[in-house]
Chain A
Amino acid sequence: MKRFQFRFAILVGLVLSLLVACNPGREIADNVIDNNSGNVAKTLVMFTSADYPPYEFIETVDGRSEVKGFDIDLAEHITEKLGYGLQIDTINFDRLIPVLQSGQADFVMAGMVPTETRRQNVDFTQLYHVPNHAVLSQRGSGLSTLENLRGKIVGVRQGSIQAQRVREIPNIKIKSLQQMSDLVQALKAGRINAALVAESAAAGYLAVNPDLEIHQIPSIPGNSGAAIAFTKGSRLVQAFDQVISEMKTTGELDQLALKWFDAVSESPPEALKP
């Protein structure tokens, strides 16, 4: 009996490997194929990086979990208007473009900036949100403008709008980190002198960390904001674009921004530039 146990484990392992190998899962991208042939697909798969409140985060009270945030509300609104279902999956921010390319996602919303490099790999809608930039630093550091940041070590969220903006500042050491919370810890530990962030995303951290201070900096006209990303050549781009334009004229987009960015910060909600 005792000798039998190991051999039993081997057999169980072999059976399990068969099960894993044969397990039917979700077939890839019916939707993508449907989009290209022009038919209406049932459910669109959206990927996001749910670690960036209030844009997207997971609410986890009482053992239940739900993805929430500005981007999520907007995605629900658009897909509903276009008659699609919506399924939301989460993954790290730097994996969002790969899941689009591999066809696992139909679209990606994560406050993503349409940079030149990204445009070569995926398609974007127009901007749906242009955030205020702000300098986050330790209280009393006196770093309140972009000018002050010269010669300092400045942290940004990898691939964010601010990561693009920070390159305009001469003589600066840039440190890009994965998550907003990583930036806050780097700041508290003194590894960076300041962080260039979206004001609305920093508000929640400011409330929890009284040893930090924030200064809004003037935004540059035409400066980039967030857009929705699609697989290259997806026909959904146009439809999504149209709904965003409608929401801008009816003021629904402003209302949505008001709901999310007012709920977290006490600062006045940021105005959207059409």
Chain B
Amino acid sequence: MVLDFVNCFNSFFLAQILGQAIGQTGLVLDFGKIVPNIPFILQGIGITLAFTLVSALIGFAWGTILSIFKISNIRPLKWFADFYTSIFRGTPLILQLAIIYFSTPQLIGYAIPPFQAGVITFSLNSAAYSSETIRGGILAVDKGQREAAMTLGVAYPLMMWDIILPQAFKNILPALVNESIALLKDSSLVSTVGALDLMRRGQIVASEKFIYFEPLIFVGLIYYLMVMSLTWVAQGFERRMRRSD
């Protein structure tokens, strides 16, 4: 079993290096075939990154607002935020995307482009998840901080903005990085509504060249490298934040 795996691994890399078939049977890979199409695939990086970045930022902002709703004393706001979260966590992302993309033109007569539909869906969805994370972060800030602020007469909005939230965010950074990584990979779902992201470009090259695995493996490698760089950046960011401890 282990030997099989090693063999398979070796032959995979051999095939990659030589760019040729390994033999009559088994998985035959020839990355030479997709060389002319690589620029086309690489252009998808920008689109995938744009989806991820814009959705992560909007989702983060909206998630913060929702989390404040959730811990507020005003009942309707709390109900709204809880209901919102239950809807977006309770249904599949691909279904939400399909509904937003296909229903918008019929509801308001606006032919929503795939990019907008994707960003809206991912932001709304990501906000539902990160609102819970942020809520946890806020509740984890020591009660004494809030009490001290109240004693000093700091108004609620300022207390949140200047005292509670900055401390909360520091603690939930790893969870937020997780959320961004999930977003980066989930953005491949926009290929189902025709946006030309990395995933869709891989599929297009696959059908153009009558092959299957080579473009997909290549695209997978790019996703992996992107997630690795994101992790790396986040680690640096975290180190800088810890310096103030």
Contact = CB atoms under 8 A, between A and B. Distances in A.
A38 B123 CA distance: 41
Interface in B189-220: 192-194, 196, 201, 203-212
**Most chain A Cβ neighbours within 10 Å, of B37, B165, B240:** B37
Contacts of A17: 58, 61-62, 123
Contacts of A47: 194
A208 B211 contact: yes
Contacts of A62: 36, 39-40
- Report the interface size class on chain B: 35 or more
B210 A25 contact: no
B165 A6 contact: yes
Contact of B111 (A6, A57, A104): A104
Contacts, number: 143
Contacts of B123: 17, 20
Contacts of A207: 210
Interface string B93-105: 0000010001101
**Which of B59, B105, B161 has the most chain A CB atoms closer than 10 A to its own CB?**
B105
Contacts of A59: 208
B45 to A, nearest CB: 12
Nearest to A48: B194
Interface in B222-244: 240-241, 243-244
Contacts of A25: 110-113, 116
B58 A27 contact: no
B111 A7 contact: no
Interface in A1-49: 2-3, 6-7, 9-14, 16-17, 20, 23, 25-29, 47
Interface in B24-39: 36-37, 39
Interface stretch (A73-81, A84-92, A127-135, A140-148): A84-92
Nearest to B162: A3
A91 B194 contact: yes
A65 interface: yes
Given A17-B61, A91-B193, A6 B169 contact: yes
B119 interface: yes
Contact of B113 (A3, A26, A57, A65): A26
Contact of A103 (B59, B111, B203, B241): B111
A99 interface: yes
B102 A20 contact: no
A9 B105 contact: no
B61 A10 contact: yes
A168 B60 CA distance: 54
A10 B60 CA distance: 7
A28 B244 contact: no
B60 A9 contact: yes
Given A25-B111, A179-B207, A181-B207, A12 B105 contact: no
Task: Select the residue from A6, A59, A95 with max chain B CB neighbours within 10 A.
Answer: A6
A13 B37 contact: no
Interface in B103-153: 103, 105-106, 109-113, 116, 119-120, 123
Nearest to A64: B40
Given A58-B204, A208-B209, 13 more contacts: A2-B243, A6-B166, A7-B166, A9-B61, A20-B116, A20-B123, A28-B109, A51-B204, A53-B210, A59-B208, A61-B40, A63-B40, A102-B106
Interface of B: 36-37, 39-43, 54, 57-62, 64, 98, 102-103, 105-106, 109-113, 116, 119-120, 123, 161, 165-166, 169, 192-194, 196, 201, 203-212, 240-241, 243-244
Interface of A: 2-3, 6-7, 9-14, 16-17, 20, 23, 25-29, 47, 50-53, 57-65, 89-92, 95, 98-99, 101-104, 179-181, 184-185, 204-205, 207-209
9 closest pairs, A vs B, by CB? A13-B61, A63-B39, A60-B40, A91-B194, A51-B207, A13-B57, A28-B111, A3-B166, A6-B169
